Chain A
Amino acid sequence: MSEEIQTEYETEGVEKKFMFLNRKAPYGTIYALEMLETVLISAAFDQDVTLVFMDDGVYQLKKGCDTKAVNMKNFSATYKALGDYDISRLFVEKESMDARGLTIDDLVEVIFEDEDDDWAEKPAVHVKSRDEIARLMEEQDVIISA
C-alpha cells in the first residue's frame, strides 16, 4: 500500500445517473447558483443528468426573475441554456407548484434536441407528481441535493 493519499480515480467509460435535487429559491441563498455549476460540470463529464425542482426550488425556473434591486448576478438565463448541454430532463414537482400557485406557464422554456428523434426540438421541463419523482430517485446512482 502506498503511503500517498490517492487523488485520482479511474472513471474512463463510467456513465452514471446523476440527479440534482434543487429545493431552495434561486436568490436569497447561493445554493441554486452553485448547484448549477455542479450540473454543468457533470454534463461535461457525459453523465446522465436529471434535474428536479421541489419546495421553493420550483422558483428557480420562474420566468422574469429580476435581480437589479438586490444587486445580485442574474443567472436565470443559464437554465434556458441547459438543453445545449444535452440536459433533457428538468422535472418540477407538482405538489410544490400547486402550493405556490404556479403553473407550467409561469416557468421558463428549456428546449433540447433529441438525438434519438432526428434532433427534433423538444421541451425539457415537465411537471411530475411527488410519487413519480420518488420513483425516479430510486433509479439514480447519485443524488446531489441543496
Chain B
Amino acid sequence: MKYGILINEGPFTHQASDTAYHFTKAAIEKGHRVMRVFFYHDGVYNANALSEPQSDDRNIVKLWGDLAKEHKIDLVVCVAAGLRRGIKDQVLAEGFRISGLGQLTEIGMAADRLITFGD
C-alpha cells in the first residue's frame, strides 16, 4: 500500500506527530511505502531546527529527519502555514523541504490512502 501522511499538530502539545511517526515506521517495516509526509497547520513546527527538548525525552524533529533519511521519505512543510508561523529556510531542520499546498493534493491523488493525524 502507498500511503500519504498529513500532520496537523505541532510536536509535544499533541500526540499527533508521535502517532504519525510510529505509524510511518510501522508501515514501512510491514513493507508499505510512505510517499510523503505533509506538515500543515501547527504541524509545520515539527520542522523547527531550533526545537530542543529535554535530554531524557524524545526529539521529535530529529526523529522525523532521521527516519526520512533512512527510508528516503519526502517531508514537506507547507509554505503558507510555515510563513505565518516563522518556519522558513533559516530554521528548517535537516530532512525537510518547504513547498506549496499542491503537494498535499498531489499526494492525495497519487497515494492509495491519505491519513490525517490531528487533534
Chain A residues proximal to chain B, CB less than 8 Å: 3-7, 9-11, 14, 16, 18, 30-31, 34, 37-38, 41-42, 44-45, 47, 141-146
Give A33 Cβ to nearest chain B Cβ, in Å: 10
Which residues of B, 76-93, contact A by the 8 Å Cβ criterion?
Answer: 80-81
Q: Which residues of B contact A30 (CB under 8 A)?
A: 41
B60 in the interface (beta carbon within 8 A): no
Given contacts A5-B72, A9-B106, A144-B116, 18 further A-B contacts (CB under 8 A): A4-B72, A6-B72, A9-B35, A9-B110, A11-B106, A11-B110, A14-B109, A18-B105, A34-B80, A38-B101, A38-B105, A41-B100, A41-B105, A45-B106, A47-B108, A143-B114, A144-B114, A145-B116
Kindly state the separation between the CA atoms of A42 and B68 in the bound complex, as whole angstroms. 26
Q: 8 pairs across A/B with beta carbons < 8 Å?
A: A5-B68, A5-B72, A14-B110, A34-B41, A41-B101, A45-B109, A141-B108, A145-B116
Give B106 Cβ to nearest chain A Cβ, in Å: 6
Kindly state the separation between the CA atoms of A136 and B110 in the bound complex, as whole angstroms. 21
Give B114 Cβ to nearest chain A Cβ, in Å: 5
- Contacting B74 at CB < 8 Å: which of A5, A42, A141? A5
Question: B107 near A41 (CB under 8 angstroms)?
Answer: no
Question: B118 near A142 (CB under 8 angstroms)?
Answer: no
With A31-B41, A34-B81, A38-B104 in contact, is A145–B110 under 8 Å at CB?
no
Question: B41 near A142 (CB under 8 angstroms)?
Answer: no
With A41-B104, A144-B6 in contact, is A6–B109 under 8 Å at CB?
no
Kindly state the separation between the CA atoms of A142 and B118 in the bound complex, as whole angstroms. 16
Interface string of B95-107 (1 = CB under 8 A from A): 0010011101111
Q: Which residues of A contact B20 (CB under 8 A)?
A: none
B8 in the interface (beta carbon within 8 A): yes
Q: Which residues of A contact B97 (CB under 8 A)?
A: 7
